[in-house]
């Protein structure tokens, strides 16, 4: 287990370093001028040059990256080009919103995927299996922003059951918070469940064909016990690996959804940074999303290693 943790920590650090360099280069080489976006189209060449010199944008890209990386490791994410606000505190204020949305969407996705995927595997090649597979394909092809618009039209405009957007902190008003978060969470979770349904179905089909399942049935074990104690439990091990990646995808795909529902999370922060070419905002937001994804994957790797000792053995 120690070797597994050390190897994962090393991979974590290297991946974060590579991801940070790719993010920095990608954001800086995109055509356009951060100085002109901040100062406006009527800014003079002298004003643009002063802005770039002030923020170090006139230096070589390698020097800019080294400086940014050093400041980032000390917790200094810089100031917004647009309003001079410290990016770090603003980012910390927005993380709970996006994290709550991602967790709710993830719970919804799993509540849909695990029973449907397991049931499809239990009825393999029958009508329920084909029906669930068709539903998964349909959901996978559905854009989450389209589903979000549909939910607003039905649940808000037609039946007036839920507010159209906005955000209230959970501890200020839990009921209103859940009412405001349920539609964006459904928009992400329902679409995300498509992949997880297929993964759970595939894992269950493989487990149900295993020798120990046939042995349990031959010993006269009840079908419910075989399914819950043996089949579903063992199918969850490969499922959890994919689910962790999907959670990271959920956390990183909230940009449009947060904008539609006026949620003050990281996604809307990213969108503002993209529109204004605000490099500190974009870099800090993208790096935060990357960091969350890596942390989730690290935790899942260690957890799966504890659940499945064979993973630990391979790292000795």
* Predicted confidence (pLDDT) per residue in 175-195, tens digit: 999 999 999 999 999 999 999
Asked if residue 207 lies in contact with residue 123, where contact means CB atoms within 8 angstroms, the answer is: no
Residue 315's pLDDT is 46
* Distance in Å from the first CA to the final CA of the chain: 8
Residue 316's pLDDT is 46
Residue 310's pLDDT is 54
Residue 298's pLDDT is 87
3-state secondary structure of 241: helix
CATH of 94-313, one of 1.10.3720.10, 3.60.110.10, 3.30.450.20, 3.30.300.10: 1.10.3720.10
> Considering only CA atoms, which of 261, 285, 91 is closest in space to residue 188?
261
Show the low-confidence residues of the chain (pLDDT under 50): 312-316
Locate 3 and state its tokens: 């070797």
Domain ranges for the chain: 2-73, 94-313
> Considering only CA atoms, which of 119, 133, 34, 79 is closest in space to residue 280?
79
C-alpha separations of 28 from 34, 39, 287 in Å = 9, 18, 14
Length of the chain: 316
Helix, strand, coil proportions of the chain in percent (round to 5)? 80, 0, 20
* Predicted confidence (pLDDT) per residue in 4-56, tens digit: 788 888 999 999 999 999 999 998 888 888 999 889 888 999 999 999 999 99
Residue 51's pLDDT is 94
C-alpha separations of 261 from 15, 148, 184, 253 in Å = 32, 9, 7, 14
> d(Cα 204, Cα 124) in Å, to the nearest integer?
10
Residues 6 or more apart in contact with residue 83 via CB below 8 angstroms: none
> d(Cα 245, Cα 239) in Å, to the nearest integer?
10
3-state secondary structure of 129: helix
**Residue found by looking up tokens 């669930």 in the block:** 132
> d(Cα 163, Cα 174) in Å, to the nearest integer?
14
């Amino acid at each position: 287990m120690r070797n597994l943790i050390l190897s994962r920590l090393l991979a974590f650090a290297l991946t974060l370093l590579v991801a940070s360099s790719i993010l920095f280069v990608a954001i800086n080489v995109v055509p356009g001028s951060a100085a002109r976006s901040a100062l406006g189209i009527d800014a003079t060449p002298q004003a643009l040059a002063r802005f770039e010199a002030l923020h170090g944008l006139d230096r070589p890209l390698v020097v800019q990256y080294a400086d940014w990386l050093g400041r980032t490791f000390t917790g200094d994410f810089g100031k917004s080009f647009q309003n001079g606000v410290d990016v770090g505190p603003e980012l910390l204020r927005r993380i709970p919103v996006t994290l709550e949305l991602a967790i709710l969407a993830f719970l919804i996705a799993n509540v849909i995927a695990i029973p449907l995927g397991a049931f499809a595997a239990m009825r393999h090649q029958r009508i329920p299996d084909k029906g669930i597979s068709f539903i998964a394909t349909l959901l996978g092809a559905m854009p989450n922003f389209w589903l979000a618009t549909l939910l607003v039209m039905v649940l808000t405009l037609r039946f007036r059951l839920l507010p159209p957007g906005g955000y209230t902190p959970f501890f200020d008003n839990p009921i209103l918070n859940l009412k405001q978060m349920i539609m964006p969470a459904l928009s992400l979770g329902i679409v995300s469940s498509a992949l997880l349904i297929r993964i759970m179905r595939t894992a269950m089909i493989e487990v149900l064909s295993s020798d120990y399942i046939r042995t349990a049935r031959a010993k006269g074990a009840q079908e419910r016990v075989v399914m819950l104690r043996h089949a579903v439990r063992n199918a969850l091990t490969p499922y959890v690996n994919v689910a962790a990646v999907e959670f990271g995808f959920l956390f990183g795909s909230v940009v449009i959804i947060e904008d539609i529902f006026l949620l003050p999370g990281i996604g809307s922060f990213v969108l503002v940074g993209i529109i204004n070419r605000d490099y500190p905002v974009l870099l800090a937001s993208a790096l935060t999303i990357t960091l969350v994804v890596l942390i989730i994957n690290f935790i899942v790797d260690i957890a799966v290693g504890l659940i499945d000792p064979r993973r630990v053995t391979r790292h000795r």
